[in-house]
Amino acid sequence: MNLQSAVEQVLFGGSIEDKLLDLSEFDLKFSLTPTKKEILPGRNKSIEFSKEQIKFPRAGSFHLKEKRALALHFFANHELLAIEMMAAALLMFPDLTESFKKNLVSTIKDEQKHFLLYRKRMNQLGVDFGDYPLNDFFWRQFASIKSPEEFYALVALTFESANLDFAIYYRDIFGEVEDLECQKIMSIVLEDEIKHVARGRSFLESQVDPKELWNYYQSLLPDKITPARSKGIKFFDEPRLKAGLSPEFISSQRDYRDQFKVTKRKEWD
């Protein structure tokens, strides 16, 4: 198998095993070609997308282990979606540099690790991945992505950026209910997500003066997405500083408000 078929297996394959294939074992010098298939993830019956909406558990209910397991189920789904979107990017922008490929492959490896950490813990709490409906919200936003710049704006500086806040927020809630295993997972995820946001930042800063990053970032977002989606319930500066974002960028992000209902958050979603 070469890198092309391996990446296609991750995106189009329907099983969890397909999604967890280790791409770093393949020769990254291999030149990828755009896929002939429609860019949509394969999902076997047990992990297929569902229209059924379920609510993310309230923070106040985390003392119940089934609610913590449900939270992990949501987080794990996001990891799977991230894996698929990143595999898609490799097939959509195949003529990018080897370092672009390398960064994506190593990010995918982290997301696979996160998925496994979440799944293992939810299993211990009595839930298996696929027991609850899985939403495709991220994929629906991804459909409009046309360039690697738009990809990094949406995935790294929006979805993964929000993850920085959620990782801290839920790490602390897991700590409060003394689920140290879950707390530890969130700390691992947080450290990795800082690297992922940094990769997106540095890619975009190679295209534009860092002083212009905030405006540039906004110009790259899909119509229905605003920077409100790049933040959690509570906003934390520190992981963003660690990801190399400027204090100016961070304060614009912190102060950003919009009118759109789709981006309003009360709880994690």
Residues near Fe ion, by CB under 5 A: 79, 111, 114, 160, 193, 196
2 versus 229: smaller Cβ distance to Fe ion: 229
Helix axes 65-92, 180-205, angle to 10 degrees: 20
| Residue type at 194 in one-letter notation | I
Q: Coil, strand, or helix at residue 32?
A: coil
Contacts of 262 (CB under 8 A, 6+ apart): 224
User: Residue 261 CB, nearest distance to Fe ion (Å)?
Assistant: 26
User: Residue 221 CB, nearest distance to Fe ion (Å)?
Assistant: 18
Per DSSP, what are the bridge partners of residue 49? Answer: 134
Backbone dihedral angles phi then psi of residue 238, each to the nearest 5 degrees: -55, -50
89 versus 258: smaller Cβ distance to Fe ion: 89
Instruction: Give the helix ranges, DSSP H, for the chain.
Output: 3-12, 16-19, 65-92, 98-124, 137-142, 148-154, 161-176, 180-205, 213-219, 238-242, 247-255
Per DSSP, what are the bridge partners of residue 134? Answer: 49
User: Residue 19 CB, nearest distance to Fe ion (Å)?
Assistant: 13
User: Residue 196 CB, nearest distance to Fe ion (Å)?
Assistant: 4
Tell me the residue length of the chain: 269
Contacts of 233 (CB under 8 A, 6+ apart): 165, 166, 169, 265, 266, 267, 268
173 versus 190: smaller Cβ distance to Fe ion: 190
Contacts of 113 (CB under 8 A, 6+ apart): 188, 192
13 versus 200: smaller Cβ distance to Fe ion: 200
24 versus 61: smaller Cβ distance to Fe ion: 24
Maximum Cα–Cα distance across the chain:
50
User: Residue 60 CB, nearest distance to Fe ion (Å)?
Assistant: 25
User: Residue 106 CB, nearest distance to Fe ion (Å)?
Assistant: 11
Q: Which residue number places its CB atom closest to Fe ion?
A: 196
User: Residue 155 CB, nearest distance to Fe ion (Å)?
Assistant: 8
127 versus 157: smaller Cβ distance to Fe ion: 157
34 versus 71: smaller Cβ distance to Fe ion: 71
